[in-house]
Structure formats: structure tokens, C-alpha cells
């Protein structure tokens, strides 16, 4: 298959929120979750399974519980999370939302840097270090993404990817309450990255947030605003299976990069 196979992924899309260039009162359009990936093979392509039993070959020993959590997450998303995001968009101008997103993204570059180093990705580590320095100084503590404008986009690396890079298998598939698709390895990695951010306490942010718990709510809304996932986007009775497969395949690609 060729790049047309990537277009097929749009039919399996976990749709994304994207910040609009203009102040808007609507949740942003859907987009292909694979569009930000850079494929490393010679033809800059990837072979996606069109219809295969391999799509169902995912370790999911607690599927019944996972499906119930998936339904709970979908209802919470519809009735609580997305209304909160829409309200946030309604009451805040675009530049405020952008500043908040940039600030939390700058904090996320701390575990990004640590995991790039742990994976031996020297050039990526240097670019992430440059991002932290530029955005923290010229970007006023990360409120302005100066590095992006200078040609240094964020390059996410998490502990789950690091463990996978060093041969740790994903383990059983998990659906985490409120957070969505994951695995035993990735869920453990998420906790590790969270703990690392707390230990580093970059810009004294964790101490401030602990004193002002409402900031965790802002972070949660910002996270949902920028997370490429929408329940019901597949319009399929087999959405759980498709999301499970798409998440697993996406993580494989991220680890290979």
C-alpha cells in the first residue's frame, strides 16, 4: 500500500482538537492522528493493515472491564469534559488559551528531555534542551512558544516509549478512567513522568499547583482541548476494537521513530 493507506487511517481517526488561529466558540475540527508522524522507511510510507485478523490480536485480558470503563469515559466526555472545554473556549480569548497550552507544553518538555536522553537520542535531546531554554527565557516562562517559531517544534517522548525502546513489552491493554486508551507499560510510564515532573518541580510549578488546586482543573481542560481523541468519531459499533488497534499501532510507530 502507499500513502493512500494513511488516508484510510482517517476513517479510523481519533479526532483531534486543534487551536484555531482566530478566537472561536466552537470545538475545533477533527484531524488525522497520524499526520504529525514522520515515517522513517525509504519511501516515507507505512504498510497499514486494511482488514486483518492482526487488528484484533491485542492482549486484552480484562476486556469486559475495559469496555465498561470505555463507555463511562464516553459519557463523562459527552456530559462533563467537552462542555467544560466549550465553556473554557467561550470565556477565554484565543491568546489566553494559547498561553496556557504553551506553559503546560513547556513543563512537559522536562520529561521529554529526560526520556530523549534515556533513549540515547542525542540530537533530539539537544533540540529539546534548546526549546526549554528559549521558551523559559524569551518565552516568558513558556507562555510564548518562541522555539516553535524558531523551527524547533516539540518532540514528545514519554517513559512508555523509553521502556518500549529498551524492549519492555506493552503488556495488557488498559482503558484508564478519564484518560482513555493505554497499556500496563504506558500507564506505568505516565505515572513515572508525572512523578518526575513533581521531583524536578520546574519553575516551582508543582508547589504552586498544590497550593492552588484549581490549576489542576485548568490543566485537565487544556489537556482535553489538545488531545487528539473524540468518542463516536468512528460512527461504528466496533469502535472499541478499532480504537484499541489504532492506539496500539500508533504507539508502535512512535517507539520505532
Chain segment 188-214, per-residue pLDDT in tens? 999 999 999 999 999 999 999 999 999
- Of 51-55, 217-221, 247-251, minimum mean pLDDT range: 51-55
Which is higher by pLDDT, 28 or 15? Answer: 28
DSSP classification of residue 53:
G
Sign of the C-alpha dihedral, residues 116, 216, 208, 152? positive
Which is higher by pLDDT, 97 or 18? Answer: 97
Phi, psi of 15 (to 5 degrees): -65, 155
Taking residue 13's Cβ as centre, other Cβ atoms within 10 Å add up to 20
- Of 3-7, 46-50, 51-55, minimum mean pLDDT range: 3-7
3 state DSSP class of 163: helix
Taking residue 47's Cβ as centre, other Cβ atoms within 10 Å add up to 9
What mean pLDDT value characterizes the chain?
83
Residue 178 and residue 227 in contact, taking contact as beta carbons nearer than 8 Å: no
Which is higher by pLDDT, 246 or 47? Answer: 246
Nine cell digits for residue 59: 492482549
Model-level pTM? 0.77
Nine cell digits for residue 9: 487511517
Nine cell digits for residue 84: 467544560
Residue 256: what pLDDT?
86
Q: Which of 214-223, 224-233, 236-245 has the highest mean pLDDT?
A: 214-223
Look at residue 232 and tell me whether its pLDDT is greater than 60: yes
Cα 118 from Cα 202, distance rounded (Å): 19
pLDDT digits (tens, 9 = 90+) for 74-116: 999 999 999 999 999 999 999 999 999 999 999 999 999 999 9
Amino acid at each position: 500500500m502507499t500513502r493512500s493507506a494513511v488516508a484510510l487511517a482517517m476513517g479510523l481517526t481519533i479526532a483531534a482538537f486543534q487551536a484555531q488561529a482566530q478566537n472561536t466558540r466552537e470545538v475545533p475540527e477533527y484531524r488525522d492522528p497520524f499526520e504529525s508522524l514522520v515515517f522513517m522507511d525509504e519511501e516515507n510510507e507505512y504498510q497499514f493493515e486494511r482488514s486483518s485478523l492482526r487488528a484484533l490480536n491485542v492482549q486484552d485480558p480484562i476486556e469486559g472491564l475495559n469496555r465498561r470503563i470505555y463507555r463511562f469515559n464516553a459519557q463523562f466526555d459527552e456530559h462533563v469534559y467537552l462542555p467544560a472545554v466549550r465553556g473554557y473556549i467561550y470565556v477565554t480569548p484565543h491568546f489566553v488559551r494559547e498561553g496556557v497550552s504553551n506553559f503546560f507544553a513547556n513543563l512537559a518538555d522536562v520529561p521529554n528531555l529526560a526520556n530523549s536522553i534515556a533513549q540515547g537520542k542525542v540530537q533530539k535531546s539537544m533540540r529539546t534542551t534548546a526549546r526549554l531554554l528559549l521558551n523559559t527565557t524569551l518565552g516568558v516562562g513558556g507562555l510564548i512558544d518562541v522555539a516553535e517559531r524558531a523551527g524547533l517544534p516539540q518532540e514528545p517522548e514519554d517513559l512508555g516509549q523509553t521502556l518500549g525502546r529498551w524492549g519492555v513489552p506493552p503488556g495488557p491493554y488498559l482503558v484508564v478512567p478519564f484518560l482513555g486508551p493505554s497499556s500496563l507499560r504506558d500507564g506505568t510510564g505516565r505515572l513515572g513522568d508525572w512523578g518526575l515532573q513533581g521531583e524536578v518541580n520546574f519553575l516551582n510549578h508543582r508547589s504552586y499547583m498544590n497550593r492552588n488546586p484549581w490549576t489542576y482543573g485548568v490543566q485537565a481542560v487544556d489537556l482535553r482541548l489538545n488531545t487528539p481523541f473524540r468518542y463516536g468519531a468512528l460512527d461504528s459499533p466496533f469502535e472499541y476494537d478499532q480504537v484499541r488497534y489504532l492506539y496500539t499501532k500508533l504507539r508502535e510507530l512512535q517507539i520505532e521513530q
